[in-house]
Amino acid sequence: MRQHLGDPVRHCFMTRSVARVMGLSLSEEMQAGKLAPQTYASMVTKCRGCALVEACENWLSKQSTLVATPPPGCCNGAVLTELRRHN
């Protein structure tokens, strides 16, 4: 059975939004060679297949300051946490 993937634009925005709330710019991370474009593409694809989209959007709506960790259960949490640790 094939998994339904969500809208690429929506999930690109969500991936970048979670990173931004964590104080990261994924574009800058790629320009600096800290994030491979293929890894970024994989992150968006993982987000597209995530079952926690509504919870993530709710989490994003409540953030008013920078945070150290991604939302609970984030499928890209490990990559984002590692990038943040090296900044």
What gap in Å lies between CA 42 and CA 48, rounded to an integer? 10
What gap in Å lies between CA 14 and CA 18, rounded to an integer? 6
pTM > 0.75? yes
Nearest Cα to Cα of residue 80 among 31, 14, 4? 14
Mean pLDDT within 48-60: 96
Asked whether the beta carbons of 44 and 10 are under 8 A apart, the reply is: no
pLDDT of amino acid 56: 97
pLDDT of amino acid 87: 85
Asked whether the beta carbons of 14 and 54 are under 8 A apart, the reply is: no
DSSP H helical segments within the chain, as ranges? 8-21, 26-31, 37-48, 53-61, 77-85
